[in-house]
Structure 1
Protein backbone atom coordinates (compact mmCIF):
# COMPACT_ATOMS: atom_id res chain seq x y z
CA UNK A 1 0.00 0.00 0.00
CA UNK A 2 1.37 3.38 -0.99
CA UNK A 3 0.91 6.51 1.08
CA UNK A 4 1.00 9.86 -0.65
CA UNK A 5 1.57 10.62 -4.29
CA UNK A 6 4.44 9.59 -6.53
CA UNK A 7 5.96 13.05 -6.20
CA UNK A 8 6.02 13.04 -2.40
CA UNK A 9 9.07 14.20 -0.46
CA UNK A 10 10.72 12.50 2.49
CA UNK A 11 12.29 14.88 5.00
CA UNK A 12 14.37 14.29 8.10
CA UNK A 13 15.01 16.88 10.82
CA UNK A 14 17.10 15.60 13.69
CA UNK A 15 18.26 17.67 16.69
CA UNK A 16 21.74 16.65 17.86
CA UNK A 17 23.41 17.56 21.12
CA UNK A 18 27.13 17.62 20.37
CA UNK A 19 29.91 17.80 22.91
CA UNK A 20 31.75 21.08 23.16
CA UNK A 21 34.18 21.60 20.29
CA UNK A 22 32.74 18.83 18.10
CA UNK A 23 33.14 19.16 14.34
CA UNK A 24 30.25 19.82 12.00
CA UNK A 25 27.99 16.83 11.37
CA UNK A 26 27.88 15.82 7.70
CA UNK A 27 28.08 12.69 5.63
CA UNK A 28 26.39 10.45 3.12
CA UNK A 29 25.18 6.89 2.83
CA UNK A 30 23.50 4.59 0.33
CA UNK A 31 20.00 3.31 1.02
CA UNK A 32 19.29 -0.36 0.21
CA UNK A 33 16.64 0.64 -2.33
CA UNK A 34 17.03 3.87 -4.27
CA UNK A 35 14.11 6.19 -3.68
CA UNK A 36 15.27 9.53 -4.93
CA UNK A 37 16.06 11.10 -8.25
CA UNK A 38 19.76 11.70 -8.56
CA UNK A 39 20.99 15.12 -9.65
CA UNK A 40 23.07 16.06 -12.65
CA UNK A 41 26.58 14.61 -12.24
CA UNK A 42 29.66 16.06 -13.98
CA UNK A 43 32.98 14.18 -14.03
CA UNK A 44 36.27 15.89 -14.82
CA UNK A 45 38.38 13.12 -16.39
CA UNK A 46 40.41 12.26 -19.47
CA UNK A 47 41.21 9.13 -21.42
CA UNK A 48 40.33 5.71 -20.00
CA UNK A 49 38.85 7.19 -16.83
CA UNK A 50 36.48 9.36 -18.89
CA UNK A 51 35.20 6.25 -20.69
CA UNK A 52 34.69 4.45 -17.35
CA UNK A 53 32.78 7.44 -15.95
CA UNK A 54 30.44 7.57 -18.95
CA UNK A 55 29.78 3.80 -18.72
CA UNK A 56 29.07 4.10 -14.98
CA UNK A 57 26.31 6.64 -15.61
CA UNK A 58 27.84 10.13 -15.40
CA UNK A 59 25.69 12.74 -17.12
CA UNK A 60 28.59 14.74 -18.56
CA UNK A 61 32.29 13.84 -18.83
CA UNK A 62 35.23 15.93 -19.99
CA UNK A 63 38.00 18.22 -18.83
CA UNK A 64 39.01 21.52 -20.42
CA UNK A 65 35.82 21.92 -22.48
CA UNK A 66 33.67 21.50 -19.34
CA UNK A 67 35.78 24.05 -17.47
CA UNK A 68 35.21 26.56 -20.29
CA UNK A 69 31.44 25.93 -20.21
CA UNK A 70 31.37 26.47 -16.44
CA UNK A 71 33.39 29.70 -16.79
CA UNK A 72 30.88 31.02 -19.32
CA UNK A 73 27.99 30.10 -16.99
CA UNK A 74 26.14 27.82 -19.41
CA UNK A 75 26.52 24.60 -17.39
CA UNK A 76 24.55 23.90 -14.20
CA UNK A 77 24.99 20.70 -12.15
CA UNK A 78 24.38 19.25 -8.67
CA UNK A 79 27.49 17.11 -8.06
CA UNK A 80 30.94 16.75 -9.55
CA UNK A 81 33.85 14.33 -9.35
CA UNK A 82 37.42 14.87 -10.51
CA UNK A 83 40.39 12.65 -11.11
CA UNK A 84 43.68 13.58 -9.47
CA UNK A 85 45.37 14.37 -12.80
CA UNK A 86 42.65 16.85 -13.87
CA UNK A 87 42.25 18.51 -10.45
CA UNK A 88 44.87 21.25 -11.12
CA UNK A 89 42.82 22.34 -14.17
CA UNK A 90 39.59 22.28 -12.12
CA UNK A 91 41.30 24.44 -9.47
CA UNK A 92 41.21 27.31 -11.98
CA UNK A 93 37.43 27.56 -11.47
CA UNK A 94 37.52 27.11 -7.70
CA UNK A 95 36.12 30.61 -7.20
CA UNK A 96 33.03 29.61 -9.15
CA UNK A 97 32.53 26.12 -7.66
CA UNK A 98 33.66 26.81 -4.08
CA UNK A 99 30.84 29.12 -2.91
CA UNK A 100 28.25 26.68 -4.30
CA UNK A 101 29.84 23.76 -2.42
CA UNK A 102 30.64 21.95 -5.65
CA UNK A 103 34.45 22.11 -5.66
CA UNK A 104 35.89 18.56 -5.62
CA UNK A 105 38.11 17.89 -2.61
CA UNK A 106 39.90 14.84 -1.32
CA UNK A 107 38.20 15.17 2.10
CA UNK A 108 34.73 14.90 0.55
CA UNK A 109 35.81 11.87 -1.45
CA UNK A 110 35.02 13.32 -4.86
CA UNK A 111 38.66 13.44 -6.01
CA UNK A 112 39.61 9.89 -6.90
CA UNK A 113 41.18 7.66 -9.51
CA UNK A 114 38.52 4.97 -9.00
CA UNK A 115 36.03 6.87 -11.13
CA UNK A 116 33.61 4.01 -11.73
CA UNK A 117 32.83 3.41 -8.05
CA UNK A 118 32.80 7.14 -7.29
CA UNK A 119 30.16 7.74 -9.97
CA UNK A 120 28.00 4.86 -8.74
CA UNK A 121 28.23 6.15 -5.16
CA UNK A 122 27.52 9.76 -6.15
CA UNK A 123 24.45 8.80 -8.17
CA UNK A 124 22.92 6.70 -5.37
CA UNK A 125 24.10 8.36 -2.17
CA UNK A 126 21.92 10.25 0.30
CA UNK A 127 23.66 13.27 1.81
CA UNK A 128 22.99 14.98 5.11
CA UNK A 129 24.42 18.02 6.85
CA UNK A 130 23.80 19.81 10.15
CA UNK A 131 23.25 23.55 10.41
CA UNK A 132 24.85 25.87 12.98
CA UNK A 133 22.40 24.76 15.69
CA UNK A 134 23.35 21.10 15.04
CA UNK A 135 20.01 20.19 13.48
CA UNK A 136 20.42 17.71 10.64
CA UNK A 137 18.17 18.52 7.67
CA UNK A 138 17.84 16.05 4.82
CA UNK A 139 15.23 15.49 2.18
CA UNK A 140 14.67 13.86 -1.15
Structure 2
Protein backbone atom coordinates (compact mmCIF):
# COMPACT_ATOMS: atom_id res chain seq x y z
CA UNK A 1 0.00 0.00 0.00
CA UNK A 2 2.77 2.46 0.95
CA UNK A 3 6.21 2.55 -0.64
CA UNK A 4 8.05 4.98 1.63
CA UNK A 5 7.98 5.74 5.33
CA UNK A 6 9.03 8.89 7.16
CA UNK A 7 9.49 8.73 10.92
CA UNK A 8 9.97 12.00 12.77
CA UNK A 9 11.21 12.48 16.32
CA UNK A 10 10.06 15.23 18.65
CA UNK A 11 11.07 18.54 17.16
CA UNK A 12 10.49 17.31 13.61
CA UNK A 13 13.89 15.67 13.15
CA UNK A 14 13.99 12.74 10.74
CA UNK A 15 14.62 9.33 12.26
CA UNK A 16 14.00 7.31 9.09
CA UNK A 17 13.05 8.12 5.51
CA UNK A 18 13.05 5.42 2.91
CA UNK A 19 11.45 2.24 1.61
CA UNK A 20 9.11 0.35 3.90
CA UNK A 21 10.96 -2.88 3.09
CA UNK A 22 14.20 -1.60 4.67
CA UNK A 23 12.76 -0.23 7.94
CA UNK A 24 13.30 -3.33 10.05
CA UNK A 25 16.76 -3.90 8.56
CA UNK A 26 17.85 -0.34 9.40
CA UNK A 27 16.62 -0.49 13.00
CA UNK A 28 18.05 -3.99 13.55
CA UNK A 29 21.41 -2.50 12.55
CA UNK A 30 20.96 -0.08 15.46
CA UNK A 31 20.08 -2.91 17.85
CA UNK A 32 16.33 -2.27 17.91
CA UNK A 33 14.31 -5.41 17.22
CA UNK A 34 10.62 -5.36 16.38
CA UNK A 35 8.68 -8.09 18.22
CA UNK A 36 6.63 -10.56 16.22
CA UNK A 37 2.94 -9.78 15.63
CA UNK A 38 3.51 -6.09 16.32
CA UNK A 39 2.89 -3.38 13.76
CA UNK A 40 6.34 -2.00 12.92
CA UNK A 41 5.43 1.71 12.56
CA UNK A 42 3.35 1.63 15.76
CA UNK A 43 6.23 0.06 17.69
CA UNK A 44 8.69 2.65 16.36
CA UNK A 45 6.33 5.52 17.17
CA UNK A 46 6.00 4.17 20.71
CA UNK A 47 9.81 4.23 20.95
CA UNK A 48 9.95 7.81 19.69
CA UNK A 49 7.25 8.89 22.16
CA UNK A 50 9.15 7.31 25.05
CA UNK A 51 6.50 4.69 25.81
CA UNK A 52 8.86 1.81 25.04
CA UNK A 53 12.63 1.73 25.56
CA UNK A 54 14.42 1.04 22.27
CA UNK A 55 16.91 -1.49 23.60
CA UNK A 56 20.34 -2.02 22.16
CA UNK A 57 22.95 0.67 22.68
CA UNK A 58 20.85 3.60 21.45
CA UNK A 59 18.35 5.95 23.09
CA UNK A 60 15.34 7.61 21.50
CA UNK A 61 17.16 10.98 21.56
CA UNK A 62 20.07 9.50 19.59
CA UNK A 63 17.94 8.17 16.73
CA UNK A 64 17.90 11.46 14.71
CA UNK A 65 21.67 11.77 15.10
CA UNK A 66 22.15 8.16 13.99
CA UNK A 67 20.07 8.91 10.88
CA UNK A 68 22.19 11.98 10.14
CA UNK A 69 25.40 9.95 10.50
CA UNK A 70 23.96 7.09 8.44
CA UNK A 71 23.28 9.45 5.51
CA UNK A 72 26.41 11.56 5.91
CA UNK A 73 24.55 14.71 6.96
CA UNK A 74 26.16 17.35 9.14
CA UNK A 75 25.28 16.98 12.82
CA UNK A 76 24.32 20.32 14.39
CA UNK A 77 26.76 21.50 17.08
CA UNK A 78 24.12 21.39 19.83
CA UNK A 79 23.46 17.69 19.08
CA UNK A 80 27.07 16.49 19.02
CA UNK A 81 26.79 15.36 22.65
CA UNK A 82 24.31 12.69 21.49
CA UNK A 83 26.97 11.03 19.33
CA UNK A 84 28.38 8.18 21.37
CA UNK A 85 31.77 6.54 21.02
CA UNK A 86 30.24 3.16 20.10
CA UNK A 87 28.79 4.49 16.87
CA UNK A 88 30.06 2.76 13.75
CA UNK A 89 30.38 6.07 11.93
CA UNK A 90 32.28 8.78 13.71
CA UNK A 91 30.64 12.20 13.72
CA UNK A 92 32.29 14.78 11.50
CA UNK A 93 34.31 17.38 13.28
CA UNK A 94 32.89 20.88 12.93
CA UNK A 95 35.08 22.64 15.43
CA UNK A 96 37.50 25.23 14.08
CA UNK A 97 41.15 24.22 13.91
CA UNK A 98 42.56 27.61 14.92
CA UNK A 99 41.49 29.64 17.91
CA UNK A 100 41.69 32.68 15.64
CA UNK A 101 38.96 31.34 13.37
CA UNK A 102 35.39 32.32 13.95
CA UNK A 103 33.71 30.10 16.54
CA UNK A 104 30.92 27.85 15.31
CA UNK A 105 27.56 29.37 16.12
CA UNK A 106 25.54 27.23 18.49
CA UNK A 107 21.99 26.80 17.30
CA UNK A 108 19.30 24.95 19.20
CA UNK A 109 16.89 23.26 16.80
CA UNK A 110 14.34 22.51 19.52
CA UNK A 111 13.73 26.07 20.72
CA UNK A 112 14.49 28.51 17.95
CA UNK A 113 14.41 32.24 18.59
CA UNK A 114 12.82 34.67 16.14
CA UNK A 115 15.56 35.01 13.52
CA UNK A 116 13.89 37.86 11.60
CA UNK A 117 15.33 40.50 13.91
CA UNK A 118 11.91 42.13 14.12
CA UNK A 119 10.94 43.77 17.40
CA UNK A 120 7.27 43.60 18.34
CA UNK A 121 5.94 47.01 19.35
CA UNK A 122 4.55 47.48 22.83
CA UNK A 123 0.86 47.52 23.74
CA UNK A 124 0.50 51.31 23.65
CA UNK A 125 2.21 51.66 20.27
CA UNK A 126 0.02 48.89 18.84
CA UNK A 127 -3.05 50.72 20.19
CA UNK A 128 -1.80 53.95 18.61
CA UNK A 129 -1.42 52.15 15.26
CA UNK A 130 -4.93 50.74 15.68
CA UNK A 131 -6.45 54.18 16.36
CA UNK A 132 -4.52 55.68 13.45
CA UNK A 133 -6.22 53.38 10.96
- Structure with the larger helix share: 2
Instruction: Decide: shared fold, TM above 0.5.
Output: no
Larger radius of gyration: 2
TM range (shorter): under 0.3
Which structure has more strand as a fraction of its residues? Answer: 1
TM-score (structure 2 length as normaliser): 0.27
Higher relative contact order (CA 8 A, sep 6+): 1
In the superposition, the TM-score normalised over structure 1's length comes to 0.26
